[in-house]
């Protein structure tokens, strides 16, 4: 399981690095840290029973990725 988690983290880190380079994601936090943030936040959403609660947590996660001022 740890290998799969590491691969998923690396995938997120790479995608976020590309998004940072394109100006789509905040650049004041390293992609490594953003990947950890996303995976932990989305893991929390996985424990929710309500679809509305999951939607709110996903929105909060996306909000945390937005560049300042957007």
Q: Compute the average pLDDT of residues 8-21.
A: 96
- State the chain's mean pLDDT as an integer: 91
**Cα atoms in the Cβ-side hemisphere of radius 13 Å centred on 2:** 0
Q: State the pTM of this model.
A: 0.82
User: Encoding tokens for residue 19?
Assistant: 């998004």
The predicted structure's pLDDT at residue 16 = 96
Report how far residue 53's alpha carbon sits from residue 29's, in angstroms, rounded to the nearest whole number: 26
In this predicted model, what pLDDT tens digit does every residue of 20-45 receive, in sequence order?
A: 999 999 999 999 999 999 999 888 88
Mean of the pLDDT values across residues 43-62?
87
């Amino acid at each position: 399981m740890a290998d799969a988690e590491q691969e998923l983290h690396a995938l997120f880190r790479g995608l976020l690095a590309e998004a940072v380079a394109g100006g789509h994601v905040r650049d004041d936090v390293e992609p490594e840290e953003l990947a950890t943030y996303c995976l932990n936040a989305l893991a929390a959403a996985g424990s929710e029973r309500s679809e509305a609660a999951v939607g709110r947590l996903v929105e909060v996660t996306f909000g945390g990725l937005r560049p300042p001022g957007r």
